Amino acid sequence: MDPLNIAGLVDGEGCIRITTRGRYGGTAIRPNQHTLMVELVNTDGGMVELMRATFGGTVSYLPENEEFNRRPQWHWRVAANKALACLDALY
């Protein structure tokens, strides 16, 4: 897939963030550790699997929920050095 299309997907369906662990709970090797993350949530499992195959990371599945009128969702997440490599490839 074209890097521009992937960048558009991350911009429209995902997020780029820096998380902090250790300050308000959670565990970290070093206090106040920061981690770069890139995430994508989509109802097309194939698209999310393509991101995992291309950049690594993990995929989780959230099933359909009729009570909230929500379709099934796949959530891809990559962190730290893999997230940096992903962003470098999209730049």
- For residues 86 and 33, what is the distance between their CA atoms, to the nearest angstrom? 21
Per the model's pLDDT, the better-predicted residue between 30 and 12 turns out to be: 12
Instruction: Tell me which residue has tokens 């074209």.
Output: 2
Q: pLDDT by residue (tens digit) across 7-29?
A: 888 889 999 999 876 655 555 55
pLDDT in the model for residue 22: 62
Q: pLDDT by residue (tens digit) across 65-89?
A: 777 777 899 999 999 999 999 999 9
Q: What is the pTM of this model?
A: 0.79
pLDDT in the model for residue 68: 75
